[in-house]
């Protein structure tokens, strides 16, 4: 019994970091009221790899609270193909929530994260450097809210799709 209580206690905080949109908006509003800077990034995160971790670590250095938006399974299939995602959305969200730099995770099903950004109102939105030179909905949304858009460094050649192709 004691071992199962310990296991439950150790996993509960990670699951509790996966929030719905309204709960995340309340947490972010409270953080901003305390003077904390909120950073947001998003992606599929199907097959976590070191590139994801390093991007999240870099994003966290830009503020006090890091919120990660995770694409729902339907959207990942649309973006990556019918055999994806490899890992279901709720599991991807929980895995991300367990990473040290991540404070909160929010699943979203829209084609673009702009509505989520509008609801959460972070101070900074980050994307990978593969978006350099592209006009993105995220960039337009955060700038319209008075926030900042930042491109994160990436590790060349480290991509979930390339890892999956090896199998």
pTM for the structure as a whole: 0.86
Cβ atoms of 142 and 117 closer than 8 Å: yes
Neighbours of 75 (CB within 10 A): 19
Which one has a higher pLDDT value, 151 or 47?
151
Q: What confidence category does residue 76 fall into, taking pLDDT thresholds of 50, 70 and 90?
A: very high
Burial class (CB in 10 A: 0-12, 13-18, 19+), 25: middle
Query: Would you state the pLDDT for residue 147?
Result: 96
Q: Which of 110, 93, 26 is nearest to 65 (CA)?
A: 26
- Distance (Å, rounded) from C-alpha 66 to C-alpha 42? 11
- Domain CATH code at residue 117: 3.40.50.620
Neighbours of 62 (CB within 10 A): 17
Q: Which of 138, 132, 166 is nearest to 40 (CA)?
A: 138
- Distance (Å, rounded) from C-alpha 140 to C-alpha 20? 24
Comparing 34-43, 47-56, 124-133, 148-157, the range with the smallest average pLDDT is 124-133
Residue 65's domain comprises 2-165
Comparing 25-39, 63-77, 94-108, 147-161, the range with the smallest average pLDDT is 147-161
Averaged confidence pLDDT in the chain: 87
Domain tally, the chain: 1
């Amino acid at each position: 019994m004691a071992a199962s209580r310990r296991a439950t206690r150790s996993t509960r905080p990670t699951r509790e970091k996966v929030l719905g949109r309204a709960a995340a908006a309340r947490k972010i509003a409270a953080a901003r009221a305390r003077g904390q800077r909120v950073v947001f990034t998003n992606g599929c995160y199907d097959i976590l790899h070191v590139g994801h971790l390093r991007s999240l670590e870099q994003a966290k250095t830009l503020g006090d609270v890091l919120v990660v938006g995770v694409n729902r399974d339907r959207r990942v299939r649309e973006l990556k193909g019918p055999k994806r995602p490899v890992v279901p959305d709720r599991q991807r969200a929980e895995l991300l929530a367990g990473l040290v730099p991540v404070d909160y995770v929010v699943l979203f099903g829209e084609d673009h994260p702009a509505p989520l950004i509008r609801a959460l109102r972070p101070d900074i939105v980050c994307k990978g450097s593969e978006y350099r030179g592209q006009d993105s909905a995220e960039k337009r949304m955060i700038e319209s809210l008075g926030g900042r858009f930042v491109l994160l460094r990436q590790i060349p050649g480290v991509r979930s799709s390339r890892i999956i192709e090896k199998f």
